Amino acid sequence: MDFAAARRNMVDCQILPNQVDDERIIDALLEIPREKFVPDPLSGIAYVDENIPLGNGRCVMEAMVIARLLQMASLSSEDMALTIGCGTGYAVSILAKIVDTVVAVESDKVLVQKAAENFAAVGLNNIAVIEGNLSEGNIEQGPYDFIFFDGAVTKVPAKLFDQLTENGRLAAIVTNGVTSRACLYTRYGDLLAMREVFDAGTPLLPGFEEDEAFSF
């Protein structure tokens, strides 16, 4: 299979028609081999416009959703970013081509190892993969200019908003079990602004307890 052609087709048919015009995101999608981040038997469908299952309820998020989440955050090349739910590292790799540094938290030790191998294979050295509780984030390396959830949540834990810088942004798919919306939060001192941007059918990330969460 010609994966380079599949990447080009993905961008032309899924990304550009969905109002993604940030050249940094487009270039990253054309460069990062999505097929390397999915299970080998599924590499042939790596570029379809769907979430690719990894097992145990995890997935590689649909590329269009990743692209739109990153674009709505108006990222800077100097940003320090945190990803919640690294998985095998595809979305983290796209993000790492745009920002200065990414800290990626993952609770599954098998996925931590796989992601680290994938980052080395694609030549990315600005990512720190940390095994830990997803809902805790990683306060030690913060604060962060941008926090990205690689999967949906019912609510965003309040302690993660505390890990944002002033004017820091947080992008997540927030679901109520019926509908799911891409939401962008921005921190202004002790205040948070939230904007809903688009619908997304993204599987729920495991490990988020409602009594630890804060939502709008």
- How many independent structural domains does the chain possess? 1
Residue 123 one-letter amino acid: G
Asked whether residue 178 is assigned to any structural domain, the reply reads yes
Residue 209 has pLDDT above 70, yes or no: no
Q: What is the CATH number of the domain that holds 138?
A: 3.40.50.150
The pLDDT tens digits of the residues spanning 69-113 come to 999 999 999 999 999 999 999 999 999 999 999 999 999 999 999
Asked whether residue 212 is assigned to any structural domain, the reply reads no
Asked whether residue 25 is assigned to any structural domain, the reply reads yes
| pLDDT (0 to 100) of residue 207 | 77
Q: Is the preceding peptide bond at 143 cis, omega within 30 degrees of 0?
A: yes
| pLDDT (0 to 100) of residue 208 | 66
Residue 48 has pLDDT above 80, yes or no: yes
Rounded average pLDDT over 166-187 = 94
Residue 176 has pLDDT above 60, yes or no: yes
Q: What angle do CA 113, 63, 44 make, to 5 degrees?
A: 75
Higher local confidence (pLDDT), 178 or 186: 186
Q: What angle do CA 70, 143, 124 make, to 5 degrees?
A: 55
The model carries a pTM of 0.94
The pLDDT tens digits of the residues spanning 113-169 come to 999 999 999 999 999 999 999 999 999 999 999 999 999 999 999 999 999 999 999
Asked whether residue 39 is assigned to any structural domain, the reply reads yes
Rounded average pLDDT over 18-39 = 97
Length of the chain counted residue by residue: 216
Asked whether residue 211 is assigned to any structural domain, the reply reads no
Residue 216 has pLDDT above 90, yes or no: no
Asked whether residue 41 is assigned to any structural domain, the reply reads yes
Number of neighbouring beta carbons within 10 Å of residue 48: 14
Average pLDDT, the chain: 94
Residue 34 has pLDDT above 80, yes or no: yes
Residue 191 has pLDDT above 90, yes or no: yes
SS (H, E, C) the chain: CCHHHHHHHHHHHHHHHHCCCCHHHHHHHHHCCHHHHCCHHHHHHCCCCCCEEEECCEEECCHHHHHHHHHHCCCCCCCEEEEECCCCCHHHHHHHCCCCEEEEEECCHHHHHHHHHHHHHCCCCCEEEEECCHHHCCHHHCCEEEEEEEEEECCEEHHHHCCEEEEEEEEEEEECCCCEEEEEEEEECCEEEEEEEEECCCCECCCCCHHHEECC
Asked whether residue 215 is assigned to any structural domain, the reply reads no
Asked whether residue 209 is assigned to any structural domain, the reply reads no
Give me the domain span that covers residue 121: 3-203
* Residue 34: exposure state from Cβ atoms within 10 A (0-12, 13-18, ≥19): buried
Residue 201 has pLDDT above 50, yes or no: yes
| pLDDT (0 to 100) of residue 210 | 55
